[in-house]
Structure formats: C-alpha cells, structure tokens
Chain A
Amino acid sequence: MSERDIDKMIDELVEREVSRRQLFRLGAAGAMSVGAASFLAACGGSSSLGGGTKTQSKVIQKSALGTELNFSNWPLYIDVAHGKHPTLQHFQKKFGVHVNYTEEINDNTEFFGKIHQQLANGNSGGRDIIVMTDWMAGKMIKLGFIEKLNKQYLPNVQKNLIPALQHIDFDPNRDYSVPWQSGQTGLIVRTDKAPDVKSVNDIFNPKYKGKVTMLTEMRDSVGLTMLGMGKDPTTGSVNDMLAAIDKIGKYVKNGQIRRFTGNDYLKDLPHGDTWVCYGWSGDAVQLQSDNKNIKFIHPEEGFMLWTDNMLIPVGAPHPYTAEVFMNWIYQPQVEAPIEDYVNYVPPVNGTKEALLKIDPGVAKNPLIFPSPAVLAKGHAFKQLAPADDDKVNNAFQQVIGA
C-alpha cells in the first residue's frame, strides 16, 4: 500500500467518519492518559467497507419484556457457580426473563462466517445479544447487521460506562455497541524457566526455542510483534504489519515458535510446554493465582488493548429485553461478581469499589484494574480497510501454517 493510498484513506475517513483526532480529544476528555486514549482510538483507521452498507435509522422500541433472552458469548466469559450462572439467575429472579446463554463464539471471523448469511437476510438466528471484538463489531455495524440502541432505556450505561470507552471510532456515540469486557494482550511467562523477560523481543530469544507460542488472533500477535519492532499498531502501515508477519514467519520456520493458540496456553504454561507466550490478561489472573511461577508481563514496548462489545443483531426477537439486560448489567454491584470470575477489565464505573466489598484480593489486582500509568502503554490495532484486512490476514494465516 502506497502512501498515497493511505492519504486517500485518511481523507475518506475524515469525510465519512469522525476523525481519529476527534476521538483523541474525546478520549482525553475522559480523564485518561494519552496512552489510554490510543486504546479508545481502538481500531483507528478507515472503516470504509466496499459494499453492503446500509444505515439503520430506526431505534429499538419499548415493548413488553420477553419471557426469554438469547445471549451468545465467548466461553468462560461470565460467572459460574455450581454449573449455573448466578448473574443470569439473578436477572431472571428480578425480571422473570430466562436467559438462554450459549458459549458459541470462539473466534470473531469464524462466528461472522457462521451467521453473516442469516444477518444479511435480517435474521439473527434467534440471538438477542452477541459479543464481538472492536474491529468485528465495527464491520458488522457498517454492514447494517446491528440494531441501533435506544439510549432512553440505557440510563445505567450512560451513567456508568467508563469515559475511556464512551467514544470509539467504529461507533463514536455508542449507538450500536455496549462494552462487555476489555482486555490486555501481553506476555505470559514462566518466571522459573524464563526469568528475565521484559521486552516483546525476548520471545525470540533462542534460549526459549520451541517453548514459545503466539496467538491465532492476528491483531494480537502482529500488534505485539510490531511494538517490538518499534512500530505502533494503531498507526503503523500495512507494510509494517507485513514486516512483522515476515518476522513471525522466520521464527516459525526455525522452530522458535512452537505453535499458535487460542487460550491453550492455560494448559501449556503449567505443563511446561510453553515458557513465554503472547496471552490475555484475564487468563493470566487465574494462572498467576494457581502457579506463582506464572506471570503476566506488560512488555516495555507496550501492549495491546481491546474491548469485546455486546451487540443486538438485526432480527433479534427480544431487542427491548436485550436493552433491559444491558442496562441492568451496568450497575457496579451486578458487574462485580462477573468481574470476580472473568478477571478482565470491566467497563462499568465503580466496579472496583463494589468488588472491594466482596473480593478485595481481586479488586486490588492491577491486571483487572490497571493504573493509568500502565494503561498509557496500551495500544489498539488499526481498523483496516477490507482489502488491507484480507492482505494482512492472508499473510498471517500463511505464516501460521494455514
């Protein structure tokens, strides 16, 4: 991609979307560090999509509460007790709505591939809420696959959504999306086997040959590697990304990188198959508490930040009920037990205080409630135009051997 293309893209962006600068400003207004603002700038860049864009003008109307709510989420992303989900039981008790909770999302693209046909026909497959990572949420909104929210029914979200997440590029006013959890991608290390890991580049240390893994999630693996190469994944060019992918490829070939994982490192680290890996903060909290030799490290070059968002897909049978649910979740005392279990970064203001009362250990964990100084080093991955997205993804998939 030439510079001119990039310029053109940015021009398009300025014309059609809220500019990134604007977002920066809004982010800064959110009483957060500049670094964190880049987090909000999540997925900065062009979101122009070739086609299929259709605008959603109507908003969700109030109706009677449904008897049930169909919620599709990622595995292990809500509190569990005795095989049940207390938060959902609590919701049912309060509103008489039974939540059919399905852990069917394992991968953004995979899930998109599964449901896009239905969504294009205005059918959600019965789903009322789905949870997608920023960049995919942006794509789906652009494709007109997501219902516009009626903020009248989301007063808690208005009130409690942390400022840093109130305005993001793919959905500047949070008209379509409500954050579920945020997370950090950094290094997770077996300190007994790899004691001096500080930099992203330590993952390429020949001492750890065959004992390192990266993530199948392209944005995490490429983003962190770019940081190690001194490039900013938020602003870097497609060429920078391809360079990072080349570098990863080199270390696949020479056997440095053992494999690419989802959160399989949950098992690989304690077993000693993996000593250093790219991994997610929420998992690290659990790993650290089980094994004192495992530690999440914010690399000195910085780390990746991302958010998973609740979305109401078009054709959802119970959109109003879904909004009631989202609104209910956005109370610190409701969010706290979820946080206590999933250990990611909560988007609901006051969760820390609420959690202090029920589980102070977790509430004081810096991985769950990172300090502004730490957050300052977080980066979001650039939102890519479809052609670039294909190009980068293709290159990445080739390198990871698929």
Chain B
Amino acid sequence: MTTTSGTTPSVRLERVTKRFGDLTAVRELTLDIERGEFFTLLGPSGCGKTTTLRMVAGFEEPSEGQVLLDGTDVSGLPAFKRATNTVFQSYALFPHLNVEENVAFGLRRKGVARKEAARRVSEELERVGLAREAKRKPRQLSGGQQQRVALARALVNLPTVLLLDEPLGALDLKLRKGLQVELKRIQREVGITFVYVTHDQEEALTMSDRIAVMNQGVVEQVDAPEAVYDRPRTTFVAGFIGVSNLMPGVAGPVSAGATELKLDSGVTLSTPGNGYASGERVWAVVRPEKLSVALVEEPAPTGRPSVEGLVESSLYLGTATQMVVRLPDGVTMTVLVPNADETERQRLPGAGARVRLSWATDHMHVVRESQVEEPETTPQEGLSSERA
C-alpha cells in the first residue's frame, strides 16, 4: 500500500469501473494520488473525469474496483462520512444561507462548537478575502466571489483531499487566470491534496503537479505537465494537449538501440526508443513551434529529419505566424513561426510554395495509437473541443 515514494497515497483507485446501464463511464482505472499533490484529471466532456471525482467523493459507488482514501477502503461509505470536500462546478452554494452560514455548514454538521466554528469561518473568509461579505446571500455575490465561498466552505473543514470539479468553468477568462494563480497559492499554503477536474489543457498545464489525461473512461497518460506536453504517449494525448502534428508511419526493425521509422510520406527516420514491434503502426509527433520551415530549393539541413510539403495557408497571429503544410500522404502539419523579426517574417513562404519542414530529433516523439478507438477526432478537432 505504498507509492514509489514510499508513503501511503492520499487517494488510490484500484481497477475502478463505473457503468451507467449500457454505458461504461470509467474503465478499470488505477491511479495513485500522493499527499499534498495538485492532481488534475484532464479530458474532454464525457471522458469519465467527473465520474471518477464523484466516486472519490462518495456520490457514486464504483461498479467494480476499490477507492482508498489514506489507505482505507471507503467502498460503501456515504459522502458525509468521507474526509473529502468538494468544490462544485457551479459552486452549489446554499441559496437560503448567507456566506458565513454556508462556510460554517460542514463544521456545524461535524459537531464543532458554534464559537469555534465561527472563529474558523472568519479565518477562512479572511483567507479568501470575503470577510466583509460574511452576511450576504450567495446571489448577492459576483461569480468570482461565489467561487471563493465555495472554496472556503470546503477548505474550512481541513479535508484530507479537496475535490474540485471544473471550479473555474463558469468564470470569464481574466478572472479565471487570476483564480488559477490563487488556487495554486492556497494549495501550497494548506498542503492539502487537490484533485482537480478540468477540460482546459492550459489550466491543467499551469496548475498541476501531475496530470491524468482521460479519454472515454480510460487514463491514457499520467505524467508531469511537461512530460504530457512534450512526450505524449498516445495520439489522443498528443492531440488533446495543444496542436500536434501527427505523421503516420510504420515501425521497422530495431538496430543499435534505435528504431527505424518509415513515414507514410516516404521519409525514413531513426528514433531512439525501442519496444515497438516491427510493422507496428505508430505516429511521429512534432509540436508546431519546433518545426523549421524552408523552401525546398534551399539546401536540406544536415542531421535533422525533414519532410517536404505544400503550403496551404499562412495566417498572421500577431506573436507568431501559423502555416498549414500538406504532406504528400495528405497529412496536414501546423507550423508556428515566432514573429521575432519583421524582415524574416516577410520572407516566409506563402500559400502554394513548396517547403521543407525539419526538426531536431530530440523534438520528435513517437506515439502509439490511443487505447480507445476514436476515429473521428483529428488533432484539430481535439483542439476545438478544448475551447468549447
């Protein structure tokens, strides 16, 4: 019952499956969340992240598998007996109670004396900066204030795990950015394990210690933000986290610790890792900002893999220029060139130009297909669903 670091995990999910009728929302999920960790469940809507959270909170019971909190199996334990607290998506503040009463609710139910509760409530309200709003009703508060009340209401109980279900989803972008920072600050301050559910990859990357990317009830990858971004393991993760360029190909024989990779566009590359079966279908991923673009007439850079293609469009984005390049096999690649220098930008090839895209071997990453079939989602669609 220990993680690799040797301590009891704050939350452990063991082969947890949740079915609603014919629908399997979560499939054989195994996960350890360490004490004091800011852990994010990231994925598109319907991926099972909220269901997972609700099973930890006790609102849902797993169909199979176990949920352990601090090493104790909590199966069958109702929500009100679990040492978790939740910040709900739309806060779920009690409309008939004022801010103070909302925050005091959990303490009073736990039997904390009125006086002691009042003290802790005012401390907590102080912390979230709402001391002056103590007597107001929730509907008299702004969205951001309501969010803070929800946070205070949960944190005041000093839960071992704080569960946050898209807590910033209803706020506008500017407010969200501010609260992201604040949430992170508070989490560091109180040292409580945060399990954070979001569909916003940027939010996840900003705040988390670790991210679990979920898709169709399955965790595709659990890693630190940089790893998830730079070294996605599956096409889904690659697509969901930022715009990714996926070049399909087939793994070849392994030689000297490197695998030969034959891309569908005709280029043959060598990639460090191994473990791919010969003939296995894989994808080479390069992030748009890691690609260099040059006209085919120019000499090919040495020591850098490259592919040729046709510029379909070129879009000025202010800080960068975004080009879409179609490879011979029909795959489109997105290239992001920072607008560091105006004359350099002027010289960039326009639509219709034949170009060569090249990258450093380090920046290329080979992924397998997602564990779950998702034929319709191209990387571009993954991006749009994030913003939705």
**Touching in the complex, A and B, CB below 8 A?**
no
